[in-house]
Structure 1
Amino acid sequence: MQMPKESAFIFFFSLVGLFAAPLSVAAETAEEKGLAIAEEMERRDLGYADSVSELEMILTNRQGKTSTRYLKIKTLEVQDQKLGDKSLVIFDRPPDVKGTVLLTHSKILDQDDQWIYFPALGQKGRIKRIDSRSKSGPFMGSEFSYEDMSSREVGKYKYKWLRDEACGQMTCHVVESYPLYEGSGYTKIISWIDTTEYRVHKIDFFNRGGAHFKTLIMAKYQKYLDKYWRAHELYMVNKLTGKSTRLLMSRYEFQQGLEDRDFSRSRMATAK
C-alpha cells in the first residue's frame, strides 16, 4: 500500500496522512479492491496545497547507540496526472549535517528526479544528482532510502487486497503494492490500513531478493484542517542490520503559500 503523498517518510514521507470513507466502489477482484482502496485514499488527501513539518530523526545502531538530527520537510502538492508532489528535506542541526538539503520531484512511471545539496565550509556547496542505482541506498545514514523520500503516487504501483484482519483494537485492510517504475529497491510492499479512517499503521518492505527486510510503524495520528490525518511518530527497523530510525514530528502547518519556484535547484543552497 502506498504511504502518504506528503513525504517518503513518509514515506513515505508523505511520508506521512491518509484518509478515506468506507469504499463505495464495487471491487470484484482482489486487484480491483486493492486499487480502489489506493484511489480513494489519494482522493481523500487532495487539496492540502502545501505543508511544512518539523521533526527529530533518531538513528540507532545495532549496539543501541543513538544520534539525533533535527530537520524540516516542505511539501508542494502537484495536481498533474504525470507528475507527483515535490518536497524539500532540510537539515538544521547538528553542525555536521546543517544545511544539507534533499530536493525531490516525484514522477509516476518515469524516474523521480532527486538532488542533494551538501554545504561546504568557507566555500560554495555542491549539488549532486541521485541516480537510479543509488535510490535504494540509505538516506543520510538512516533506514529510510532515497526512494522512500518520494511521494507514493497511486499510478506507481499495482495492488492486491489480501485480507482484512485485526490490528490492535481496529480492523485493517492488508494490501500488497508492487512497484511499476524501473529501478525500485523493492519487489513488494505490504501495508495495514485501518478500515475506519484508512490510516496506514504498518508497512513491510521486501527487497530485490524477495526477503522481508524492513518494517515501518506509524503512530500517534492527529487530524489537521478537520480532514488531514498525519502520523507524529514513524519507526523504521531494518531486520537484517538491527539498525532503526525513529521520526518524531513536533509541528505540522498547511497552506503556507509555498510555490513551485521554492522547489527548484537554484533555491537549495538558501533553503531554510
Structure 2
Amino acid sequence: MKSIRILAFVLLSTTSLFAQSPEEKGLKIAQEAAKYDEGFESSEVKLTMTLTNKHGQESTRYLETKTLELIEDGDQSLIVFNSPNDVKGTATLTYTHKEGSDDQWLYLPAIKRVKRISSDNKSGPFMGSEFAYEDLSSQEVEKYTYKYIKDDQVNGEDAYVVERDPVDPKSGYTRQLIWYNKANYRLEKAEFYDRKNVLLKTLTYLNYREYLGKHWRAGEFLMVNHQTGKKTSLKFENYQFKIGLTASNFSQNSLIRAGR
C-alpha cells in the first residue's frame, strides 16, 4: 500500500509539472529569483565604467551607487559620478515601481539643477553608455509578463531561458531573453530586442561572488550593442550590505547633496 501511495504521488507531481504552461513556469522562475535575493536591506558599491567605441577606443569613469530595498514597492537607487571632471557630481536617482512608470531624476552640477527624466526618454542612453535609463531600475516581477523557453547552458552553468516582455508600452524593448541560473536563480545573461524586435544588446554577468551566505552579485556587467559595435563594462568592488540607509538618503535633496 505504501508503494502505491508513493507511485501515486510521483505521478501526480509529474502530471502537475507537465500541466504547467510556459507562461506559468516563466513567472514562477522570476518569482523564485526575486525571493532568493530578498533581505539585503540596503547596499553600497563602487564602480568603474569603461566605454568602448566601435574602433576600440576606451574612456573610463568612476562612480558609486547606493540601493534601498523596498518590499511593498520597487527598490530605490542613487548613482553618483566621482570622476573624471567632465562628469564629476552628476547624479541619478531612481524610484522603481512595481506598477506604472518609474520615477527618475538627474542632477547636473554644471547648471546646479535637478531634471526629471521623462518616461518617454527612458530608452535613451545613460550618460553615453550602452545602458539605457530603464536598465537602472530594479528587477521587479510585476514589470513584465513571462514565458519559459527552454533549458540551456551559459557561462558553464545550467540555466532556464525565460522570455519577459515589458508591461510598460514606453519601454525601448519589445522583449528580453533572460538566462536564470538553475541553482540559485541569479541572472547569467540577458538579450534585449528593440521596438522592431531585432536583437539590440546582450548583457553578460561575470565573476559572481556570494555575500552574506545568500546574495549573489556579479563582479562585472558587460553590455554589448550589436547594432553600433559599442560596449560598456561596469566593474564592481567593495560591496557593503545592511548599512542602515533609509528613505531620507534617497530624496531629491540627497540627490543634490551627493552631486556637490
User: Is TM > 0.5 for Structure 1 vs Structure 2?
Assistant: yes
The whole-number CA distance in structure 1 between the counterparts of 2:207 and 2:154 is 15
* 1:63-82 equivalences in 2 (<5 Å): 63-80=55-72
Is 1:90 matched up with 2:80?
yes
Structure 1 residues 26 and 261 mapped into 2: Cα distance closer, same or farther (>3 Å)? farther
- SS of the equivalent of 2:112 reads strand
The answer on 1:173 being equivalent to 2:163 is no
- C-alpha distance in 2 between matches for 1:132 and 1:161: 28
Contact 2:36 2:184 (C-alpha < 8 Å) held by counterparts: no
Q: Which residue matches 1:106?
A: 96
Alpha-carbon deviation of 1:168? 4.2
1:108 counterpart letter in structure 2: K
Q: Please give the residue correspondences for 1:23-42 in structure 2 after superposition, counting only pairs within 5 Å.
A: 28-42=20-34
1:214 matches 2:201: yes
Identify the residue that residue 6 of structure 1 maps to in structure 2: none
Structure 2, gaps ≥5 residues long: 1-15
Provide the alpha-carbon RMSD of the alignment.
Answer: 1.5
TM superposition shift of 1:67: 0.3
Q: Following the alignment from structure 2 to structure 1, what is the Cα–Cα distance between the partners of residues 67 and 137?
A: 10
Instruction: Answer whether contact 1:173 1:195 (CA < 8 A) is retained.
Output: yes
Q: Matches of 1:38 and 1:177 in 2, distance apart?
A: 9
Q: Moved runs in structure 1, 4+ residues, more than 6 A?
A: 24-27
- 8 Å contact 1:27–1:33 — kept in the other structure? no
Relative to structure 1, the CA distance from residue 178 to residue 161 in structure 2 (aligned partners, 3 Å threshold; closer, same or farther) is same
Does the C-alpha gap of structure 1 residues 160 and 213 become closer, same or farther in structure 2, counting only changes over 3 Å?
same
In the alignment, is the contact (CA less than 8 A) between 1:27 and 1:36 conserved in 2? Answer: no
SS at match of 2:26: helix
Choose the corresponding residue for 2:247, options 260, 263, 272: 260
The AA in structure 2 aligned to 1:110 is G
Q: Distance in 2 between matches of 1:57 and 1:64?
A: 15
- What is the TM-score when the length of structure 2 is the normalising length? 0.91
Q: 1:136 aligns with which of 116, 123, 127?
A: 123
Q: Percent identity?
A: 47
Q: What stretches of structure 1 of length at least 5 have no aligned partner?
A: 1-23
Q: Distance in 2 between matches of 1:168 and 1:73?
A: 26
The CA deviation at 1:137 is: 0.5
Asked if 1:61 corresponds to 2:48, the answer is no
Secondary structure of 2:178 counterpart: strand
Distance change (3 Å), C-alpha of 1:40 and 1:63: same
How many residue pairs get matched?
244
Deviation at 1:224, TM superposition (A): 0.5
Q: Which amino acid aligns with 2:139?
A: R
Relative to the length of structure 1, the TM-score reads: 0.87
**Are the counterparts in 2 of residues 176 and 188 from structure 1 also a CA contact under 8 Å?**
yes
Give 1:161 deviation, angstroms. 0.4
Q: Does the 8 A contact of 2:154 with 2:189 survive in 1? A: no
Write out per-residue CA displacement over residues 51-72 of structure 1, whole angstroms, 9 at most, x where no aligned residue: 0010100000111110000000
Aligned counterpart in structure 1 of residue 214 of structure 2, from 223, 227, 245: 227
Q: How far off is 1:266 after superposition?
A: 1.1
Aligned to 1:162: 149
| Per-residue deviation, 1:170 | 2.3
State the alpha-carbon separation in 1 of the partners of residues 238 and 151 from structure 2: 33
Rounded to whole Å, the distance in 2 between the matches of 1:27 and 1:267 is: 50
**Bigger proportion of residues as helix:** 2
- Please give the per-residue CA displacement for 1:96-147, whole angstroms capped at 9, x wherever unaligned: 1111000001112211000000102xxx601100001111000000000000
Indicate whether 1:153 and 2:140 are aligned: yes
Q: CA deviation at 1:27?
A: 7.0
